[in-house]
Amino acid sequence: MSNAHPMVELWRGNLLESNHFGHAVICDAKGIVEAWGDPSTVIFPRSSCKMIQALPLVETGAADAAGLTEAHLALACASHQGEHRHVDMTGRWLESLGLDEADLRCGTHEPYDHAERDRLIKSDTSPCQLHNNCSGKHSGFLTVTRHLNAGPEYVAIDHPLQIAIKAATEEVTGEASPGHGIDGCSAPNFATTVTGLARAMASFAAAKDTGSVRCRAMYRLTRAMATYPELVAGEGRACTELMRAMGGRVAIKTGAEGVFVAILPEQGLGMALKIVDGGGRAAEAAIAALLIRAGVLEANHPATLKRLNAVQTNRRGLETGILQAAPDFP
Amino acid sequence: MSNAHPMVELWRGNLLESNHFGHAVICDAKGIVEAWGDPSTVIFPRSSCKMIQALPLVETGAADAAGLTEAHLALACASHQGEHRHVDMTGRWLESLGLDEADLRCGTHEPYDHAERDRLIKSDTSPCQLHNNCSGKHSGFLTVTRHLNAGPEYVAIDHPLQIAIKAATEEVTGEASPGHGIDGCSAPNFATTVTGLARAMASFAAAKDTGSVRCRAMYRLTRAMATYPELVAGEGRACTELMRAMGGRVAIKTGAEGVFVAILPEQGLGMALKIVDGGGRAAEAAIAALLIRAGVLEANHPATLKRLNAVQTNRRGLETGILQAAPDFP
Q: What is the pLDDT of residues A178-231, one digit of tens each?
A: 999 999 999 999 999 999 999 999 999 999 999 999 999 999 999 999 999 999
Partners of B106 on chain A (C-beta within 8 Å) are 315-316
Contact state of B315 with A186 under an 8 Å Cβ cutoff: yes
Q: Which residue of B has its CA nearest to A11?
A: B181
Contact state of A15 with B315 under an 8 Å Cβ cutoff: no
Give the count of Cβ contacts less than 8 A between chain A and B: 137
Q: Which residues pair with B26 in a beta bridge?
A: B34, B271
Q: How far is A19 from chain B (nearest CA, A)?
A: 5
Q: How far is A183 from chain B (nearest CA, A)?
A: 7
Partners of A182 on chain B (C-beta within 8 Å) are 12-13, 314, 318-320
Please, which pLDDT band fits residue B2 given cuts at 50, 70 and 90?
Answer: low
**Which of the residues B277, B311, B323 would you substitute to probe the A interface, choosing the one with the greatest number of A C-beta atoms within 10 Å?**
B277
Q: What is the pLDDT of residues B61-109, one digit of tens each?
A: 999 999 999 999 999 999 999 999 999 999 999 999 999 999 999 999 9
Contact state of A179 with B2 under an 8 Å Cβ cutoff: no
Considering only the beta carbons, identify the residue of B17, B180, B186 that sits closest to A316: B186
Buried b (16+ CB within 10 A) or exposed e, B223-258: bbbbbbbbbbbbeebbbbbbbebbeeebbbbbbbbb
Contact state of B182 with A320 under an 8 Å Cβ cutoff: yes
Q: What 8-state DSSP symbol labels residue B4? A: P
Q: How far is A43 from chain B (nearest CA, A)?
A: 6
Q: How far is B80 from chain A (nearest CA, A)?
A: 15
pLDDT at A7 over 50: yes
Q: How far is A42 from chain B (nearest CA, A)?
A: 8
Contact state of A108 with B14 under an 8 Å Cβ cutoff: no
Partners of B14 on chain A (C-beta within 8 Å) are 179
pLDDT (average), residues A275-300? 98
Q: What is the pLDDT of residues A78-123, one digit of tens each?
A: 999 999 999 999 999 999 999 999 999 999 999 999 999 999 999 9
Q: What percent of chain B has pLDDT over 70?
A: 99
Contact state of B109 with A278 under an 8 Å Cβ cutoff: no
Cis amide leading into B6 (omega within 30):
no
Q: Given this model, what pLDDT does residue B88 score?
A: 98
Q: Given this model, what pLDDT does residue A104 score?
A: 98
CA B18 to chain CA centroid, nearest Å: 25
Considering only the beta carbons, identify the residue of A44, A121, A320 that sits closest to B17: A44
Please, which pLDDT band fits residue B9 given cuts at 50, 70 and 90?
Answer: very high
Q: Who's near A250: CB < 8 A, 6+ residues apart?
A: A226, A243, A262, A263, A264, A265, A291, A296, A297
Q: How far apart are CA A86 and CA A194, in angstroms?
A: 30
Partners of A178 on chain B (C-beta within 8 Å) are 15
Contact state of A107 with B181 under an 8 Å Cβ cutoff: no
Partners of A321 on chain B (C-beta within 8 Å) are 181
Partners of B315 on chain A (C-beta within 8 Å) are 106-109, 132, 184-186
Partners of B13 on chain A (C-beta within 8 Å) are 179-182
Contact state of B318 with A186 under an 8 Å Cβ cutoff: yes
For B23, phi then psi, to 5°, come to -125, 135
Contact criterion met (CB below 8 Å) for B11 and B17: yes
CA A53 to chain CA centroid, nearest Å: 11
Sign of CA dihedral A115, A117, A120, A122: negative
Q: Which residues pair with A142 in a beta bridge?
A: none
Quote the mean pLDDT of chain A.
97
Beta strands in chain B (DSSP E): 5-12, 15-28, 31-36, 42-43, 180-182, 188-190, 192-193, 251-255, 259-264, 269-275, 310-313, 319-325
Q: Who's near A153: CB < 8 A, 6+ residues apart?
A: A105, A159
Contact state of B20 with A319 under an 8 Å Cβ cutoff: no
Cis amide leading into B330 (omega within 30):
yes
Contact state of B108 with A315 under an 8 Å Cβ cutoff: yes
H-helix segments, A228-296: 229-232, 238-245, 280-293
**Which of the residues A7, A9, A15, A18 would you substitute to probe the B interface, choosing the one with the greatest number of B C-beta atoms within 10 Å?**
A18
For B157, phi then psi, to 5°, come to -65, -25
Q: How far is B285 from chain A (nearest CA, A)?
A: 14
Contact state of A107 with B191 under an 8 Å Cβ cutoff: no
Partners of A13 on chain B (C-beta within 8 Å) are 179-182
Please, which pLDDT band fits residue A2 given cuts at 50, 70 and 90?
Answer: low
Q: How far apart are CA A81 and CA B156, in angstroms?
A: 39
Q: Given this model, what pLDDT does residue B1 score?
A: 47
Contact state of A315 with B19 under an 8 Å Cβ cutoff: no
Contact state of B276 with A183 under an 8 Å Cβ cutoff: no
Q: Which residue of A has its CA nearest to B12?
A: A181
Q: Which residue of B has its CA nearest to A3?
A: B2
Contact state of A15 with B191 under an 8 Å Cβ cutoff: yes
| ipTM, 2 dp | 0.96
pLDDT at B173 over 80: yes
Quick count: other Cβ atoms within 10 Å of Cβ A236? 13
Contact state of B182 with A42 under an 8 Å Cβ cutoff: no
Q: What is the pLDDT of residues B117-154, one digit of tens each?
A: 999 999 999 999 999 999 999 999 999 999 999 999 99
Contact state of A12 with B181 under an 8 Å Cβ cutoff: yes
Partners of B118 on chain A (C-beta within 8 Å) are 121
Please, which pLDDT band fits residue A312 given cuts at 50, 70 and 90?
Answer: very high
Q: Given this model, what pLDDT does residue A301 score?
A: 98
